[in-house]
Chain A
Amino acid sequence: MAEAALAVRDLEVRYGPVAAVRGLTLEVGRGEIVGLIGPNGAGKSTTLHAIMGLVPARTGEVAVAGRRMLGRSPERIAAAGVALVPEGRRIFAEFTVEENLQLGLAARRGRYGRAALSGAYELFPVLGEFRRRQAGLLSGGQQQQLAIARALVAQPDVLLLDEPSLGLAPSLVDSVFDVLTEIREGGFAILLVEQRAQRTVALADRTHVIANGELRLTLGPGDADDTEKMVAAYFGG
């Protein structure tokens, strides 16, 4: 059996005495979207940060295509083919759109290719149009596109998204989910942390619900319309 693109096993992360993530196990295969939903403070973002090496894990293992990641620095994990679209986008507001995308190439050992950027401009034409503009001048939705494009130019194997729809108007939320649908064809392994539970469940191949740092249950796309199950998932029923 082939290795999962991303495998997390028995992950435990503590902030001092507080366990933020406890014994979390999940896998994401190539071409899959796996959702991670749950209330605020459930440990969703912490899980992504631990995978990315931004916070140390206490125990457990994170493997990308079978290679162990824990203990590596974020830049080495990025170079191993993991890209994070961070919460709040974290674009470089005073840099141009193009410079932001070029930063996305930092994880790649190869040359400073213009080709990688043209792929991003194809996917997000508005970024091509505004490529010399300061990124901070883009609208919220455009900035989110930039954050996703910046992660994609690195051509990662694993794409982590931390609440990409946060703070966006409903129509823009649609466009974010449309983009995710589009890029799943690219063969990425996508781990999507979201607050919009129903849409995430409907989109993802499977969605894990976590609360208090623990995996509570796993939902399939068919459960999206089962309101009772969704509510129960959130309120620990």
Chain B
Amino acid sequence: MTALAAVDAQTLVDSVGLGAIYALMAVGIGLVFGVLRLVNFAYGQLIMAGAYTLAFTANWRVGWSLAACLVVVVALSLAMELAVFRPLRGASPAVMLVTTFAIAFVLQAIALLIDLRDNTLGEVATSVAPLNQAITLRGVEVRKITIVAVIVTVVVLALLALLLNRTRIGLHMRAASTDFSTARLLGVRANRVIGVAVLLSGVVAAIVAVLLTVQLPFVQPDFALRETIVVLVGVVVGGIERLWTATLGGFLIGFATGIINGALPTDQTVFLPSAVFALVILVLLLRPSGLFISGRPAAERL
């Protein structure tokens, strides 16, 4: 009886940790959606690039390895905006969406080429592996990464809330997310607001890369791909029109995935992706307009 309770508490704690990471991914996706009206399917590849960077710098000092991850992911995020999104500004949402698919495939292909230079697929990222150790709290084994993930998520969300609600650029970002054309005619600079959103979204992707590699240190080109799709489902279910509902949606689907994963017998966890992808299809069937919102929303998003 106690054993069962312990397992449940264990699953619960792990699920909260997973939910926290998914919530961060939802924030990264939601920030860009707010100002660009663009669902960035290539968001997972930013995280993948960060994970590879951590793997390739695994024998550097931890601080340098993390810094390298941040630099690579943010640079890639900004490059995406400058090279792809900016030239396509004003294109239809469908064009933008398909474009992000293309970026995702290109980045995966590049990662594959780089990865295969040593003739083996996959690299191991061990920069912050010690965080995977567990400490025991009241009979529940809590991995340090779970605590770190929750704290980091809370801190990131708090900082973001401060930025959005207390600074000039934050006000401009909220205005741009609510009604971009009115914001622009008041003098809000579109490229700056979008640039900051893309930058922040890159920073968040780098953080997610670190948190995810602790639990999944074996990095392959499809790293974070499944997680991204799951998060997108959560974001749509939560409500992509507002950053906080999107974030909550991300958390909930992460939490639910963790619980289902814990509840499924070990030999049936192979069905988890199937269940998740079935949910994707269902959501896209039921809420097709949710993913392709265009024009001016009536409500404030952030």
Contact = CB atoms under 8 A, between A and B. Distances in A.
Interface of A: 52, 54, 73-75, 78-79, 83-84, 86, 90, 92-95, 99, 102-108, 112, 150, 154
B300 A103 contact: no
B187 A94 contact: no
B190 A90 contact: no
Nearest to A154: B187
B299 interface: yes
A95 B174 contact: yes
A186 B185 CA distance: 22
Contacts of A92: 175, 178-179, 182, 300
Contact of B186 (A73, A78, A93, A112): A78
A90 B182 contact: yes
Given A73-B184, A78-B184, 19 more contacts: A54-B181, A54-B185, A74-B184, A74-B185, A75-B184, A75-B187, A75-B188, A75-B190, A78-B186, A78-B187, A83-B186, A90-B179, A92-B175, A93-B300, A102-B171, A104-B186, A106-B172, A106-B189, A107-B186
A106 B184 CA distance: 9
B168 interface: yes
20 contacts: A54-B185, A73-B184, A75-B187, A78-B185, A79-B187, A84-B185, A86-B182, A90-B182, A92-B178, A92-B179, A92-B182, A92-B300, A94-B178, A95-B300, A102-B168, A106-B175, A106-B188, A108-B187, A150-B186, A154-B186
A108 B299 CA distance: 26
B267 to A, nearest CB: 50
A86 B181 CA distance: 11
Contact of A94 (B181, B190, B299): B299
Contacts of A52: 185
Contact of B168 (A75, A93, A112, A150): A112
Nearest to B184: A74
B111 interface: no
**Residue in A74, A86, A150 with the greatest tally of chain B CB atoms within 10 Å:** A74
B183 interface: yes
A30 to B, nearest CB: 21
Contacts of B183: 103, 106
**Residue in A78, A84, A92, A150 with the greatest tally of chain B CB atoms within 10 Å:** A92
Contacts of B185: 52, 54, 74-75, 78, 84, 86
A112 B168 CA distance: 8
Contacts of A112: 168
A107 B187 contact: yes
A83 B184 CA distance: 11
**Residue in A75, A84, A94, A104 with the greatest tally of chain B CB atoms within 10 Å:** A75
Interface residues of B, number: 19
Contacts of A102: 168, 171
Contacts of B187: 75, 78-79, 105-108, 154
Contacts of B182: 86, 90, 92
Nearest to B172: A106
Interface string B248-266: 0000000000000000000
A38 to B, nearest CB: 22
A92 B298 CA distance: 10
A102 B186 CA distance: 10
A52 B182 CA distance: 11
A219 B185 CA distance: 30
Contacts of B186: 78, 83, 103-104, 106-107, 150, 154
Given A92-B175, A92-B178, A75 B300 contact: no
A105 B186 CA distance: 8
A112 B189 CA distance: 16
A37 B219 CA distance: 66
Nearest to A99: B171
Interface string B291-302: 000000001100
Contacts of A78: 184-187
A99 B165 CA distance: 10
A56 B285 CA distance: 38
A150 B190 CA distance: 19
User: Nearest 8 pairs between A and B by C-beta?
Assistant: A107-B187, A78-B187, A94-B300, A106-B187, A74-B184, A90-B182, A74-B185, A106-B188
Interface string B162-199: 00000010011011001101111111111000000000
A187 B299 CA distance: 36
A34 B174 CA distance: 34
Nearest to A156: B187
Contacts of B168: 102, 112
A74 B183 CA distance: 9
